[in-house]
Structure 1
Amino acid sequence: MARRRGETRWAWTFLSPWIIGFLLFTAGPMLISLVLSFARYDMLKPPSFVGTDNYRELLSDPKAGTALYNTLLFTVLHVPLHIILALALASLLRRAGRAGGFFRTVLYLPVMTPPVALAAMFLLLLNGQTGAINEVLGWFGFTGPNWTTDPVWIKPGLVLMSLWTVGSTAVIYLAALSRVPAELYEAARLDGASAWRQFWHITLPAISGTVYFTVIVTTIASLQTFTEAYAMFFGNSQTADNQGDSALFYVIYLFQQAFGSLRMGYASALAWLLFAIIAVITIIQVRLSRRLVYYESEPR
């Protein structure tokens, strides 16, 4: 009994740095922001309680609705493309043989690019008149759109830019694919299964847990998109005027309200609405995973 108490004390001792950090830097600020969401606060004067006024204003704020629509549309476009491209690249890497290490490194290097540098690079690549992407499209007889000024093409352009960092997910999928037993593929080939049927009935179920994890993580990250879009379209006032609200994502609008207008109470309400949306989407994904995700330890 004494030994168990000693082990428990040591466990709490080793966990204490994380617990303290969580309370000070996560739980504490979340609790404060929840309180501020029911107040008017500009950081210059003490907060004043306004009840649910911030939330009522949020529901009738057209800019908040536009920002939320842009964010959800970006997420719907980005997540499937990100997952499919990462899975395709991982499948190719699996066949790279002895050169696999080199190609894994090359594929992962773009992930190390600073977001602001990435935004600056794609601002040049997506230029409607002199950008390299439109130049390549011209080689095949296509006239490229104005990616950075045409409201219809701004979000597809941002999705295209977001795929630059697909390498991290591809490496995760490569690790998952390497754990699929080779004898399953051999048996399927003997039975005459095509490559597509092998993928659908062997590969996808075997890595469904990994796919489930990356879908949740990528969805949350997409809903919180900020740095690249802000650096591309809101760091320069002239660029911002040209594109209107087409690149106004939810977190950018939250940032503008908090640090541009000093409306900390309203920004806190915006943050808690985003938290609620992420929570609901994650719960739905968890519920769906019970039917779609296969774990090897589970009985069939």
Structure 2
Amino acid sequence: MDRRKFMNGAAMLGAGSVISGFSPSDLTSTPKPKKIKHNPIGVSTYSFWQFNGPKENVPMELCIEKAAAMGFDGIELLLVQMNSEDNGYLQKLKKQAFHAGLDLMGFSTHQGYLSPEKRYREQNISKTLHQIELAYKLGIPTMRLNTGRWGTSKSFDDLMANKGMEPTLEGYTDEDGFKWVIDAIEQCIPTAERCGVVLGLENHWGLGRTAEGVKRIVDAINSPWLQVTLDTGNFLENREAQMELLAPQTYLVQAKTYYGGGKWYTLDIDYPKIGEMMRRHNYKGYISLEFEGNESPDTAVPKGLELLRDAFWYEL
């Protein structure tokens, strides 16, 4: 009899709970954590070399080995650091990276179209077409592109001391330069499309020193095969505002770090804030670490990986 009274009372308590809008499950319900995914993080082979000594001292094979051991998702190859352009060498690198669990996710190249000499521009167009073919053979989906520089600085050190600014060639203007660069890159688009390689115009001195300059060229060509390679260390003023302007067209982010002090300058880059900005623009692509400091890459590069892992993620 006592048991029956207890069960009836419990039933009435449950009914009262429903009537009052309260459910026992409310006692244990807590907000579930949002599901996130981290952006894949790669590292440029430049990070292990930085043009310090002969490139043979830091071969691509060693860079791939170190990147895999450090826990990166991919590796960006610096073309001038490669020992060969023979297909056998390219396929050897591709095979090694695949077996190490790394994507070959970026191809950093050099070229320039900022010259009044038509022959010079044509040579650099041919050079770019060849580089696109190399990226295709390597299976790399995006390739860094430069506008080139006026070349009026005495040296790269002088250019850096002047914050990347240099005067135009006598008798010419930036307007002339934009026409040359746009015309040259337009001629590279069909090959990029045929090979499936997205060209990423980088904010990298010359007419690409400012976000406005990069965007002007990309918008003028207006092709899905020309986007932006966004370098966090090449805006020396109004960094976040300039990055915001290019974020919607960014196809690859190159993230600079300066452990041990920078080679030319040291920037205090707020990566959590940049990560938040890229999430607003729904960026889910690769972040490529470019270490440009004086500390040993063996200790500095892993610290950069940890920094970028924490900063770049997005909600699923």
- TM-score relative to the length of structure 2: 0.22
Relative to total residues, which structure has the larger strand share, 1 or 2?
2
Which has the higher Rg, Structure 1 or Structure 2?
A: 2
Q: Identify, as 1 or 2, the structure richer in helix.
A: 1
After TM superposition, the score normalised by the length of structure 1 is: 0.23
